[in-house]
Amino acid sequence: MSEAVVLVHQQGPVRTLTLNRPASLNAFTTAMHGELLAALDAAAADAATRAVILTGAGRGFCAGQDLMDPAMVSTGAVAELDVGAVIERHYRPLAQRLFSMPVPVVAAVNGVAAGAGANVAIGCDMVLAARSASFIQAFSRIGLVPDAGGSWLLPRLVGRARAIGLAMTGDKLSAEDAERFGLIWKCVDDAALMDSAMALATKLAAMPSRALAETRRVIDTSMKLSLSEAVTLEADTQRELGRSHDFAEGVAAFIAKRPAVFKDR
Ligand code: T3D
């Protein structure tokens, strides 16, 4: 039997998913798309999993679409390939899955993240990167535009000037510059990456998951709202969360000066 191309490891409430095609810097094949989506769906469905870490095996995080995947090119000339269909079939569900996870997803970027690999990383809720890691909007190098949600995310994270600069040049951005640009949460020493990711995921796992997922939703939605509409969304969301177990528990724990035990999803 061939080895899984996405490894799954559970440690308490934290599930770590490791992209596992190190010889090609964990580039996405059809099989890896299938396994990653299934693994994210399974994590979302498992009430005991309260945070997810996404990382890569070997020296890379993910080099984007596997440009040599036989399933992609076996139909003949590259020109015959419907790249739009690849996006619809694989990257749309992946981006939408990440943005609708009921628990936080932490990317632990261990090495180069290129093309769709970079945009899957920054599509996670919080991104930690090893100091030696890098981010490359490699699309322009092969005649494409940023995908996997990158055209939406990049200008929101780093502003138009830097988004266009990164996407047009396809230049490598170091992890330190990625942190400075606001593309990622933090850059850490290489040896500290996985411990830092586990500490962050464990902290998030102990927090009110439903409120965290709603935090992502209101922040993302606010980008297309007026201030008045955003305040309405806040009020509607607080109304719902105000009826939740976790809100009652959070307030009770604060008053009793004890740690809260959250359980909503
Ligand atoms: O259908 C569609 O294409 C639509 C979807 C598009 C989404 C996308 O993601 S488009 C962008 C695709 N990705 C790229 O263009 C990046 C290609 N890779 C690179 O530019 C470089 O590999 C890196 C800058 C990422 C890393 O460079 P370096 O020097 O550290 O490593 P390397 O020697 O280039 O790569 C190591 C191995 O991984 C090498 O294999 P080998 O020679 O040792 O057998 C290389 O071929 C392989 N590899 C790297 N990236 C890919 C790949 N194999 C297949 N697909 C890749 N994307």
Domains of the chain by start residue, with CATH? 6-205 (3.90.226.10), 209-256 (no CATH)
Position 7 pLDDT exceeds 70: yes
- 18 neighbors 67 (Cβ within 8 angstroms): no
Q: What's the pLDDT band for 168 if we cut at 50, 70, 90?
A: very high
Q: What is the pLDDT of residues 94-147, one digit of tens each?
A: 999 999 999 999 999 999 999 999 999 999 999 999 999 999 999 999 999 999
pTM given for the model: 0.96
pLDDT value, residue 75: 52
**Ligand 1 and 71: CB distance under 6 A:** no
Residues 23-36, mean pLDDT to the nearest whole number: 97
Q: What is the rounded CA–CA span in Å between residue 92 and residue 253?
A: 40
Q: What is the rounded CA–CA span in Å between residue 96 and residue 98?
A: 5
pLDDT value, residue 65: 97
Closest CA to 156 of 94, 219, 102: 219
Q: How many Å lie between the centroid of ligand 1 and the Cα of residue 149?
A: 19
Question: Cα 87 to the chain's mean position, in Å?
Answer: 17
> Which of 21, 29, 32, 67 should be mutated for ligand 1, with most atoms under 8 A from CB?
67
pLDDT value, residue 3: 87
User: What amino acid occupies position 202?
Assistant: T
Q: Strand 105-109 and strand 126-130: pairing? A: parallel
Question: What are residue 133's phi and psi, to 5 degrees?
Answer: -75, 170
Position 36 pLDDT exceeds 90: yes
Q: What is the pLDDT of residues 185-214, one digit of tens each?
A: 999 999 999 999 999 999 999 999 999 999
**Ligand 1 and 47: CB distance under 6 A:** no
Question: What are residue 239's phi and psi, to 5 degrees?
Answer: -60, -45
Position 230 pLDDT exceeds 80: yes
Q: What is the pLDDT of residues 50-105, one digit of tens each?
A: 999 999 999 999 999 999 987 665 555 566 788 999 999 999 999 999 999 999 99
Tell me which of 3 and 262 has the higher pLDDT. Answer: 262
pLDDT value, residue 72: 66
**Ligand 1 and 142: CB distance under 6 A:** yes
Give the DSSP H or E segment for 187: strand 186-188
Position 221 pLDDT exceeds 90: yes
Q: What is the rounded CA–CA span in Å between residue 29 and residue 47?
A: 29
pLDDT value, residue 81: 80
